[in-house]
Amino acid sequence: DVKVTQSSRYLVKRTGEKVFLECVQDMDHENMFWYRQDPGLGLRLIYFSYDVKMKEKGDIPEGYSVSREKKERFSLILESASTNQTSMYLCASSFLPRTEDGYTFGSGTRLTVV
Amino acid sequence: QQPVQSPQAVILREGEDAVINCSSSKALYSVHWYRQKHGEAPIFLMILLKGGEQKGHDKISASFNEKKQQSSLYLTASQLSYSGTYFCGTEPDNNDMRFGAGTRLTVKP
């Protein structure tokens, strides 16, 4: 069964901490994405990657960075966590070029910054 | 850049029908539809590519009007299992998807 795995289901971090959110997919997908999900705002794109060591900014990259050293792993980094980064973070992956399979999402990491 | 979904919420009785709309200000290559149940990952329902095709999946179907950059999701004879939040995802030619804010669908017995 195809899978996108996010390392933590729940995280609580302190303001100013550096936070790493990990995402691993086992489908050999080229594309990987990080979204944050907030009530009333839906899913907003933070960063995405088409290939190893490649990254592109989404709509809300401020305060975040990413790393993709291996094809199957895409990490989201909060350089200095702030309370307004409290959110649900969803990782997704897909084939490139586009296919009719859509995106496969992980179950999400609910991050609380206190 | 996010597509606009309407309505924000719908409450139905089992067996009733619903329509969820999605519109974009950008020319689109495709529209995706996903359903997310509380506490779970969004699940892919279907993709519509430009060309104006309509697709169906059990009693859930969708259409895509590429001239108007609009898509609609049709849920027919709704079942309790249809409850959840539905998201449309729109994909312009540069291959990164934007999602709408979601439509919360509640189906009651």
Task: Please answer whether residues A34 and A48 qualify as being in contact, where contact means their C-beta atoms are separated by less than 8 angstroms.
Answer: yes
Residue ranges in chain B assigned as alpha helix (H): none
**B2 and A44 in contact by Cβ < 8 A?**
yes
CATH 3.30.420.40 fits B4-108, yes or no: no
pLDDT, mean of each 10-residue run, chain B (109 residues): 93 96 90 93 89 74 90 94 95 80 96
Q: Given this model, what pLDDT does residue B95 score?
A: 65
Q: Would strands A109-113 and A104-105 be described as parallel, antiparallel, or unpaired? A: unpaired
* Domain-wise residue ranges, chain B: 4-108
- Tell me how long chain A is: 114
Q: Given this model, what pLDDT does residue A32 score?
A: 95
**B29 and A106 in contact by Cβ < 8 A?**
no
Assigned token pair, A36: 């944050």
Please give the average per-residue pLDDT across A40-59, as a whole number. 93
Q: Write the CB contacts of A6 (distance below 8 Å, at least 6 apart in sequence).
A: A21, A22, A23, A89, A90, A91, A106, A107, A108, A109
- Reported as half-sphere exposure (CB side, CA atoms, 13 A), residue A8 has a value of 16
Q: Given this model, what pLDDT does residue B52 score?
A: 61
CATH 3.30.365.10 fits A4-113, yes or no: no
- Tell me how long chain B is: 109
pLDDT value at A68 more than 70: yes
**A108 and B41 in contact by Cβ < 8 A?**
yes
| Alpha-carbon dihedral angle through residues A70, A78, A4, B33, given to the nearest 10 degrees | -120
Of B29, B41, B95, the CB nearest to A105: B41
Q: Which of B97, B98, B103, B104 is the mutation pick for testing A, counting most A CBs within 10 A?
A: B97
**B96 and A104 in contact by Cβ < 8 A?**
no
Q: How far apart, in whole angstroms, are the C-alpha atoms of residue B76 and residue A85? A: 38
Contacts of B96 in chain A (CB under 8 A): 33, 45, 48, 56, 58
pLDDT value at A19 more than 90: yes
Nearest by Cα to A68 from A23, A9, A11? A23
| Alpha-carbon dihedral angle through residues A109, A113, B5, B11, given to the nearest 10 degrees | 80
* Domain-wise residue ranges, chain A: 4-113
The chain A residue lying nearest B91, using CA atoms, is: A98
Q: Given this model, what pLDDT does residue B56 score?
A: 72
Q: Given this model, what pLDDT does residue A98 score?
A: 65
Of B40, B44, B102, the CB nearest to A103: B44
